[in-house]
Structure 1
């Protein structure tokens, strides 16, 4: 079996047969010459339906996630929307994590609800809670592990069994882990979604999304909706994402190493009341994370004793950690989820604690990062 690091550099990225270029060409054409009506060269006719640069990215993503089909989109939410419209009809029901990403919640509760899709939130780490949330019309169990932003962990294999017993699909948002740390399809998931903006792209310079599946029938449904709706990844976005993926393995190792060092410091700091990180033995999902993940990731959530005002003061004081939304880039970011990425869940059962701070730990020198956090915490 070819190793992950090798697949990241070579899958879907053979040298150009015409020139020998080792980097896949950037195909900017919006349309392709046909050799007679229906005589397509390589299967390409119009760039919404397919583009060689996008194909290279999709082949690489499928290989990294252990899937047979991958689809690249203009954003992670475009991938989510396409999948849900492919498998759920009006009257269908979705089970969500009780600490889901705010954008996913907004899509399902604020957009797809108008299309007749209902939802129930549940603690996905509790099998009994998941079973209780499932209804006869449940089409999808939607999982994040680790969750955004509370770093909750769910047992993917166990959830797959529960979902399949109910005739539902298990979809796993693998953005926080990346395929380097975790491959949900190998654990029984039916589909994996990513915001490729994050760890896969890795450089905060491209927005994109991806969906990877193994089932042929499901792949055909997704492909139809991808083309019909049209929220596809552009060729330059695909090229940038491919470039980022080449270094995914080495970046993820450094993200994890830096995060582990920072967690050691935060857990002993007097101003910090709670540190949420799956690598901590006291984390309720630690054993499950250790079983299904290679390492524990570069995301950390913490809570402070001073409440909202203290949290806002800390995120304003960092100098190396940049106050910004998003995550997974080479640079370290800090944010206040309640008033930034998760503002859309305010007042809902998914509302996050007001003193919560989320860190996306980059690959800078870890001593510099620790010093920055210590001066900000005071």
Structure 2
């Protein structure tokens, strides 16, 4: 298996070609069938659409290649996280979640896991190691956290959690396998919303689970098959197509974010900026140690709710929308969803527009928003 991101990306584009026969289509065909021709003994063959699908298989091969671990596809990022919870936890277990990460994970735990007798606690990402992990069956990290962009030391968390007997799950949605490799740092499981940058075109929901532990993957696969939390073939086909250009898009987005972040920090309309790539960011040193890139998300705080909304609405090259990771730059004021951030905090997801054109539009919008 390749080790560097460039070699990994180069081989990704040729995975399917290794098995093509003369006359086979180079592009992945879409298999939209729930039934398969199955006379006699069904063992070893495609059987039913809830069990498997050739389009899933091709996508999961790509995801496994990127993660350097077996991977399973799901209809959304939350479906992937839910499968891990329901497949591996039982009554009496307790889990630890980030208090500043994606809020839906906490809502799911509060509304549904607690009904099953599964308890949970929360802890800020920046101080996730504080207090240890005794008594937890599962420790769930999200780093950089969404939307705060705080970071925790995955390797240190994994060591301490394993000593306490806990499984470590890392949500790697914000970074993708090209930007950060939690399994290499000691995490047992990676979950991610491929809805974001891996697909990249804001037109499909998808997620995946990856792990090098065969028992974990068997349990998650059984849960998916029996509970029916399966992805659609068309959605898998779209993500397969998106993954072929992820490396190019991710590099462009990260390069632009690294250029724009210090300019934002220097603009008089911006109160503060969070970006792991900035030397003065609280997470910078740890980010340099455990991340391959600093990512494409930038958090900026403007003077007020009204200023933030005006900036987002008036920038010609910003799409006002929730979610992130698309080819187009998007932004939203995260306090509107109840996140514990300043009313003027904006999560900016840098897209694939030409860097200087994007900056010119952002600068003009900042100037207008504050006059």
TM-score by length of 2: 0.93
Distance 1:18 1:237, change over 3 A: farther
The separation in 2 between residues aligned to 1:128 and 1:161, in whole angstroms, is: 10
Distance 1:359 1:140, change over 3 A: same
Higher relative contact order (CA 8 A, sep 6+): 1
Over residues 94-150 of structure 1, what are the superposed CA-to-partner deviations in whole Å (9 max), with x where a residue is unaligned? 11112111222222223322222222111333354251xx342x1111111111001
The separation in 2 between residues aligned to 1:221 and 1:141, in whole angstroms, is: 18
Q: How does 1:199-214 map to 2 (within 5 A)?
A: 199-214=197-212
Which structure 1 residue ranges, 5 or more long, are not aligned? Answer: none
**For residue 375 of structure 1, what is the aligned residue in structure 2?**
364
Q: Which moved more, 1:17-26 or 1:138-147?
A: 17-26
* Aligned 8 A contact 1:315 1:323 in 2: yes
The separation in 1 between residues aligned to 2:275 and 2:16, in whole angstroms, is: 34
Q: Is residue 362 of structure 1 aligned with residue 359 of structure 2?
A: no
Distance 1:6 1:128, change over 3 A: closer
CA RMSD of aligned residues (A): 1.6
Report how many aligned residue pairs link the two structures.
363
**For residue 335 of structure 1, what is the aligned residue in structure 2?**
332
**For residue 196 of structure 2, what is the aligned residue in structure 1?**
198
2:225 pairs with one of 224, 227, 232: 227
Q: How far did residue 283 of structure 1 move?
A: 1.4
Distance 1:193 1:220, change over 3 A: same
Q: How far did residue 353 of structure 1 move?
A: 2.3
Q: How far did residue 272 of structure 1 move?
A: 0.8
Please give the secondary structure, in 1, of the residue aligned with 2:137.
strand
Over residues 157-204 of structure 1, what are the superposed CA-to-partner deviations in whole Å (9 max), with x where a residue is unaligned? 111111111111111111110001111111111000110110110111
Distance 1:125 1:162, change over 3 A: farther
Which structure 2 residue ranges, 5 or more long, are not aligned? Answer: none
Distance 1:207 1:35, change over 3 A: same
Question: Runs in 1 of length 4+ with deviation above 6 angstroms?
Answer: none
**For residue 309 of structure 2, what is the aligned residue in structure 1?**
312
Distance 1:268 1:375, change over 3 A: same
**For residue 24 of structure 2, what is the aligned residue in structure 1?**
20
**For residue 294 of structure 2, what is the aligned residue in structure 1?**
296
**For residue 66 of structure 1, what is the aligned residue in structure 2?**
68
The separation in 2 between residues aligned to 1:113 and 1:216, in whole angstroms, is: 28
The separation in 2 between residues aligned to 1:117 and 1:54, in whole angstroms, is: 31
Please give the secondary structure, in 1, of the residue aligned with 2:271.
strand
**For residue 109 of structure 1, what is the aligned residue in structure 2?**
110
